[in-house]
Amino acid sequence: MFGIGKTLQTGVLALSAAVTLQGASPAEQQAAKHLPPRAVLERALAADWKPENPKTEPVVASGPIFSSKSQDLAFVYKRADRLFLRVVAGGTSPIVELDAPLPGTYCAGDPSLPAISLKDLTGRGRDQILVPTSDGATSLGIYLNIFGIESGQLKNMVSKGVIGGHDVELECAQNRPCRIVAYGRWTDAGTSAVGVYEWLGTQFVRTDKDAETYFMARLRALAESASSEQPKTMSQRANDAIQAASLFLEHHQPEAAIALCKEVLSRLEDPTKTVRRKNGIDPSKIDEVFGSDLKRGMSAVHELLGKSYESTGHHREAQVEYDLAGKLKSAK
């Protein structure tokens, strides 16, 4: 009985493998030929996925990696739960296969940065390989791995191994080499930062050139979201306000923090701009919960307004705000 079951199982697997290869792209079929023993070709969310159709595709790409005229192959495989990049030189004999380990446990592409892509980032006529991988929310986004071929060897092109970030933008339109801008998660002050990486001849190095410009653009957008006229819950409004005002203070812009806190307080007091949360709340208690939410949110914003006044030397105004924050915090 066990033997029959095992045979059937093997048959199903063999059939499934045959079907997969028949529908596979030429690059995927090539990658399958070059997979090491006990390895599995990694799959990731397709670049054009939609929520109603979250399809995956193999992490494979082909293009000029070894030289400007070659047609080479790059793919990611998993072996013993670890990710590896393999690059195969096109049309060489003997076959040249080069491997590099990758951090993270899965390939994490999106429409702006697919799970694997080839791009001439350095302006030298041959492509580098970009592979965003991740451990999940622990990475606060992705590890952007960039590899290229130098003197026949597969080389990591990032000075510190990887570029980390929640959002990573490649700025290549106007010139080469490309500039890489990596944003943190931007969900609290501690994760709100921008890193700028530039090609310095042999590797991408974090230089933070113009980083303040990118940072302030993101911060202004956050402040606009906090004070937006669009109806929001207390959480949505107060959280953005706390984050943005804290960042203005860290960046020595207390006047901007004061203006933001005042505007957000007026929005929190306006029942058409700050709305009740309802999910999971007993309908008879929605108003009570809303009142409690407002006190908590306004207390936090008054506290920040106090800090902002204090940093401009307006200690009396600061004390007024601290007192208001304290009263709201202790009110039931």
Partner 1 sequence: MAAGSVGETLPSQITLNGGVGTASVTLKAVNLTNQTRWYTASSTWGGTNANAINVWFQVIATREAYSTRATACGYHMQGADHFVALPYGLSLCGITVNLRASPVSASSVTAVQERGPWFPHSAPTEWNPCVGPPDPYWNTTGVPRAASAPCSSNGAGIDLAGGTYDDLGLAGNPVILWRFGQ
Residues that bind partner 1 (CB under 8 A): 44-45, 49, 51, 54, 103-106, 108-112, 132, 134-143, 161-166, 182, 184-188, 190-191, 193, 195, 206, 233-236, 238-239, 242, 277, 279-282, 285, 289, 292-293, 296-297, 300
CA-nearest of 159, 66, 74, 64 to 114 is: 74
Nearest approach in angstroms of CB 283 to partner 1 is 12
Give the list of residues 6+ apart from residue 62 with CB closer than 8 angstroms, or none.
Answer: 27, 30, 71, 72, 73, 74, 90, 118
Query: Which of 148, 297 has the CB closer to partner 1?
Result: 297
Task: Report the alpha-carbon distance of residue 324 to residue 332 in Å, rounded.
Answer: 14
Of 248, 176, 239, the closest CA to residue 215 belongs to: 248
HSE on the CB side for 302, CA within 13 Å? 20
- CB of residue 111 vs partner 1: minimum separation in angstroms? 6
* E strand residue ranges, 66-119: 72-79, 82-88, 97-102, 106-107, 117-119
For residue 166, the minimal CB distance to partner 1 (Å) is 6
User: Please, which residue, 209 or 285, has the CB nearer to partner 1?
Assistant: 285
Q: Whose Cβ is closer to partner 1: residue 31's or residue 234's?
A: 234
In whole angstroms, the minimum distance from the beta carbon of 1 to partner 1 comes to: 31
Specify the residue, 6 or 82, whose C-beta has the smaller distance to partner 1: 82
From residue 299, alpha-carbon distances to 277, 290, 291 in Å are 18, 14, 12
Question: Can you tell me which residue has the tokens 């990596």?
Answer: 182
- Shortest reach from residue 78's CB to partner 1, in Å: 13
Residue with Cβ nearer partner 1 (111 or 123): 111
How far apart, in whole angstroms, are the C-alpha atoms of residue 145 and residue 161? Answer: 7
- Cβ proximity to partner 1: between 108 and 149 the closer is 108
Task: Name the minimum Å distance from CB 315 to partner 1.
Answer: 24
Q: Closer CB to partner 1, residue 62 or residue 236?
A: 236
Q: How far is the CB of 121 from partner 1 (least distance, A)?
A: 19
| Torsion from C-alpha of 244, 247, 253, 257, nearest 10 degrees | 30
Burial class (CB in 10 A: 0-12, 13-18, 19+), 122: buried
Burial class (CB in 10 A: 0-12, 13-18, 19+), 140: middle
Q: Which residues pair with 149 in a beta bridge?
A: 154
